[in-house]
Amino acid sequence: MIKTATFEALLADAVPDEKGGFLFTLEGKTYHLQDSDEVRKIAEAHGYIVIY
């Protein structure tokens, strides 16, 4: 199966947290990020092709 996502859609799922970072959930797994741009690396690690 090919999984794709737009970068903008991934960023929309990165929610600011109270520590100044972001919470990002993908496929049921939650990540704590310092920079919202890290969502691309996480999506690619899950096998997504990120479309800009």
Is pLDDT at 37 greater than 90 in this prediction? no
Give me the mean pLDDT over the 22-45 stretch: 95
Mean pLDDT taken over the chain: 94
Question: Residue 29 has which token pair?
Answer: 């797994």
pLDDT of 1 higher than 90: no
Cα–Cα distance, 26 to 12 (Å, whole number): 12
Tens-digit pLDDT profile for residues 5-14: 999 999 999 9
pTM of the full structure: 0.86
Distance CA 23, CA 1 (A): 26
